[in-house]
Structure 1
């Protein structure tokens, strides 16, 4: 397609991420993004047909970034359960440090659509990594809890706790995360 370059898409994504970091995803305006990267609205739509398409690209980008960062960090740990705790810890700490980004990563419609058991999460490596750690943790604990059920429990806890942290109603407590995971595995 004429006029469509990866560099332009990368600039759009970077500009949108900066907007999300500073003001949240509700502040993302396609017209303003187009203006900020020097495009007309029509030219912008050659790169992203809709806000949903842009949000999907943003979610994929963030998921790739987080998965790469987490994979490097998790290499230092042997236990699947410890890796799952570290992943949860990093996401929860980021809820305080980058609340709008974590809120977007967890709750935008493109991310939420990936949480179901039948979703193809191939483009969302952070979610794939999380599900892999869930399965490995269950195997390590010799648990009979179904993987999707355990994923839902763990993910719901992390998302709920992240919302509390984001909104200043709680602060991150590693002991609470550890105890909660232990209790989930015990049932």
Structure 2
């Protein structure tokens, strides 16, 4: 059984959910070799589908990328749920989330690259989107952080600063220009929220 089939069985309890199989195989292929290596024809072939059958589920590659981006955002949200359930303040939650994300840039660089920088992320992902679970979590935490620390800063400005740091540092890690440094992350977050 392939990795995506195991995940389909765990997620849906089914073995014949074609759309989920397409999504999960796409995630596996992105993780293994990046998005550039994926063709819809080969994806359909690996699943035993005709190209026409594939197009019954996804109109084009961008349609598939959007659904995969939403699934990866949901997966990330589920992975972060234990952090969010702890009785941490928002600063600590953001710090813990940043650690998880930055370590993922080290362990799953292709998936993180896709999540943040695929064509869908660039065009359909905006700061006010509610379709992407992970983005909503971060927006809510930034709002709480401002309230808890009585910060005088625009929510969008702080969000962009935090997001830019995480993405930029993540790219440095992904490209092996540096390695994850927990103390650097803590110091940077502290500097960003100083009154």
Name the TM-score, length of structure 1 as normaliser.
0.92
Q: Does 1:46 align with 2:56?
A: yes
Alignment check: 8 A CA contact 1:60 1:124 kept: yes
Corresponding residue for residue 98 of structure 2: 88
Q: Distance in 2 between matches of 1:9 and 1:115?
A: 22
Runs ≥4 residues deviating over 6 A: none
Corresponding residue for residue 170 of structure 1: 178
Corresponding residue for residue 161 of structure 1: 169
Q: Does 1:61 align with 2:80?
A: no
Deviates more, 1:75-84 or 1:85-94: 75-84
Corresponding residue for residue 194 of structure 2: 186
Alignment check: 8 A CA contact 1:67 1:126 kept: yes
1:14 aligns with one of 4, 11, 24:
24
Deviates more, 1:163-172 or 1:104-113: 104-113
1:100 aligns with one of 96, 110, 116:
110
State the Cα RMSD in Å: 1.6
Alignment check: 8 A CA contact 1:62 1:105 kept: yes
Q: Does 1:143 align with 2:151?
A: yes
Aligned residues between the structures? 181
Name the TM-score, length of structure 2 as normaliser.
0.88
Q: Distance in 2 between matches of 1:21 and 1:55?
A: 14
Q: Distance in 1 between matches of 2:132 and 2:123?
A: 11
Judged with a 3 Å threshold, the aligned counterparts in structure 2 of structure 1 residues 178 and 115 are, in CA distance, closer, same or farther, namely farther
Q: Distance in 2 between matches of 1:77 and 1:94?
A: 24
Q: Distance in 1 between matches of 2:46 and 2:122?
A: 28
